[in-house]
Chain A
Amino acid sequence: MKVLISGIGVISAIGSDVSENLHSLKNGESGVGAIRFLKTNHKLPACEVKMTNEELAAAIGLSSAEGYSRTTLLAMKAAKEAVENSGIATGSAGFISANTVGGMDRSELAYEQVAADQEQIDFSPFTTHECADSTRKVAAFLGLKGYQATISTACSSSANAIILAAKMIEQGMADVMVAGGVDALTKFTLNGFNSLMILDSEPCRPFDDTRKGLNLGEGAGFVVLESEAHLRKRGGKALAQLSGFANTNDAFHQTASSPEGEGAFLAMTQALKRANITPEDISYVNVHGTGTSNNDASESQAMLRIFDQNIPLFSSTKAFTGHTLGAAGGIEAVYSVMAIQGGCVFPNLRFKEAIAESGLVPQTEFKEGVEIQHVLSNSLGFGGNSTSLVISKA
């Protein structure tokens, strides 16, 4: 059974909805900048969503942001857009979401009181700590009454959410599902990635030979997935088709990717097989491309193994959005649909020189008028988790 994408919603540092994101991607306007909202001592660049929690709440019609984590607010905003874009009746729809640190944006502040051993501690922010909190609140907010799941597989989380939803639809366990993921920027993740020494103190340069690391970002990206029968019956419109996917493990190191990119290679190979297409059929690859020395080198090797000398157009959009962790796969799935809709390829900003060992050159300018038949979108993460999605013209 065909799994179709009938709605998309996104919020990131380059815009609060699909049209704003598209505008920034077209015009090369990156979301990297000095940190404004997060209270941190670090002077690192990052990709914050340019809205306060109260502004986010107002944008989705909540009277106050009180009691909500930023994670939940971001997810509500993007999931609402996806649902509205598809025009589905939410009643029986399922919701498969993903994130890496749940409501850590509130927990890390409350933890200061615990660490200081204060006599009176306000424990209430911890109620939003667990990863499932945002999933439950978004489902309730949008009236999604079907199956629920929350996935946390590091940086591949939301791509995996899309996989589960697709499998359930293919197998007749559901007709329509909203799937994707979210993460808010937190001190916890900023300091975590800083302790790994993989944050660039300048705007990141994915796939460049002189790349120094990644910039963290925040945001959310969701798609509405539907069975062909369900879409037809309600007279909805398909934006694209999810034609293939695969989840594999690199089984190499807890945080680093293998030099030959085994996990990514297996994921891409199996996703192509599932879509019943060959590497030559791929029009565009939205690479994981974090901008770290290790990821981009490893992913390059995996691409060379798949495509050999016929590398398709490819780019990392993380130079725009930063690495949004649990949201990355969802946001990039939305961008993949936008590439198909617009017949365009988004630029890989700040690239100058190819990585010496691989020589791969990404698309550096916004390119229009391209027939995009199949997009391959990669998401790779800690714990060796590797996921590829194939998104195709419906």
Chain B
Amino acid sequence: MENLIEDLKKQIIEELNLEDLTVEEFGTDELLFGGNIGLDSIDALELIVLLEKNYGVKITSKEDGKKVFQTVRTIAEFLESNK
């Protein structure tokens, strides 16, 4: 789980070009949307592509995305439960 979390942080930073954020600073339970990380709806779509590309998991609606993409931990838990 810890490895998965670290991988996800790296991938999110790279895929969303969050140049000003490091893996160390990236809180596992920090809110991705609305908080300091400040992602927006375009990022949500990018996250859907990221999960499908890297983990073969398909999220088919924006509503499902909202539940999964709360924090890095919720994404990791979702991926674990979908293994």
- The reply, when asked whether chain A contacts chain B directly with Cβ atoms under 8 A, is yes
Binding site for B on A (CB under 8 A): 195-197, 253-256
Any chain A CB within 8 A of the CB of B37?
A: no
Q: Does B45 have its Cβ within 8 Å of any Cβ on chain A?
A: yes
Contact A195 B41 (CB under 8 A): no
Docked-complex contact B41 and A253, CB < 8 angstroms: yes
Using A197-B45, A255-B42 as known contacts, list a sample of 11 further A-B pairs with CB atoms less than 8 Å apart, ordered by residue number in A.
Answer: A195-B45, A195-B49, A196-B45, A197-B48, A197-B61, A197-B62, A253-B40, A253-B41, A254-B42, A255-B41, A256-B41
* Distance A197 CA – B42 CA, assembled complex (angstroms): 11
- For B46-69 the 0/1 string (1 means CB < 8 A from A) is 001100000000000110000000
* Chain A residues within an 8 Å CB radius of B42: 254-255
CB distance from A92 to the nearest CB of B (A): 46
Q: What count of chain B residues pass the 8 Å CB interface test?
A: 8
A195 to B47: give the CA distance in the assembly, Å: 12
CA distance A253 to B41 in the complex (A): 9
What would be 13 A-B contacts, judged by CB atoms less than 8 Å apart? A195-B45, A195-B49, A196-B45, A197-B45, A197-B48, A197-B61, A197-B62, A253-B40, A253-B41, A254-B42, A255-B41, A255-B42, A256-B41
Closest 4 CB pairs between A and B? A256-B41, A197-B62, A197-B45, A196-B45
Chain A residues with CB under 8 A of B62:
197
Query: In the complex, what residue of chain B is closest to A195 when comparing beta carbons?
Result: B45
Cα distance A38–B66 when bound, in Å?
A: 34
Measured between beta carbons, the chain A residues less than 8 angstroms from B41 are 253, 255-256
B40 contacts which chain A residues (CB < 8 A)? 253
Shortest distance between the CB of A129 and any CB in chain B (Å): 26
Question: Which residue in chain A gives the minimum CB-CB distance to B60?
Answer: A197
Q: How far is the CA of A197 from the CA of B40 in the complex (A)?
A: 15
Contacts of A253 in B (CB 8 A): 40-41
Chain B residues with CB under 8 Å of A197's CB are 45, 48, 61-62
Which chain B residues border A254 with CB–CB below 8 Å? Answer: 42
| Chain B: CB-nearest residue to A294 | B41
- Which residue of B is nearest A255, CB measured? B42
Q: Compute how far the CA of A256 lies from the CA of B62 in the bound complex, rounded to whole angstroms.
A: 14
CA–CA, A255 and B43, complex, Å: 12
Tell me the bound Cα distance from A321 to B40 in angstroms: 31
Closest CB of chain B to A273's CB: distance in Å?
Answer: 33
In the bound complex, what is the Cα–Cα distance between A205 and B45 (angstroms)?
23
Residue of A nearest to B48 (CB): A197
Contacts of A255 in B (CB 8 A): 41-42
Residues in B with CB closer than 8 Å to A195 are 45, 49
In the bound complex, residues from chain A placing their C-beta under 8 Å from that of B61 are: 197
How far, in angstroms, from A253 to B61 measured CA to CA in the complex?
Answer: 20
Taking CB as reference atom, which chain B residue is nearest A254? Answer: B42
- How far in angstroms is the closest Cβ of chain B from A191? 12
* B49 contacts across to A, CB distance below 8 A: 195
Of residues 10 through 64 on chain B, the ones whose CB sits less than 8 Å from some CB of chain A are 40-42, 45, 48-49, 61-62
Measured CB to CB, the nearest residue on chain B to A212 is B61
User: In the assembled complex, which residues on chain A have CB atoms less than 8 Å from the CB atom of B48?
Assistant: 197
Find the residue from A196, A197, A254, A256 having the highest chain B CB count within 10 A. Answer: A197
- Bound-state CA distance A212–B61 (Å) is 10
Give bound CA distance, A195 to B61, whole Å. 12
Minimum CB–CB distance for A244 against chain B, Å: 33
How distant is the Cα of A253 from the Cα of B45 in the complex, in angstroms? 15
For the complex formed, measure the closest distance between the CB of B72 and the CB atoms of chain A, giving whole angstroms: 22
Tell me the bound Cα distance from A105 to B49 in angstroms.
25
The docked-state distance in angstroms from the alpha carbon of A254 to that of B61 is 20
Q: How far is the CA of A255 from the CA of B61 in the complex (A)?
A: 18
A205 to B31, CA, bound (A): 34
Query: How far, in Å, is B23 (CB) from chain A's closest CB?
Result: 27
Rounded to whole angstroms, the CA-CA distance of A196 and B42 in the bound complex is: 8
**Distance (Å) between the CB of A369 and the closest chain B CB?**
43
The CA-CA distance from A181 to B13 in the complex, in Å, is 40
Q: Whose C-beta in chain A lies nearest to the C-beta of B41?
A: A256
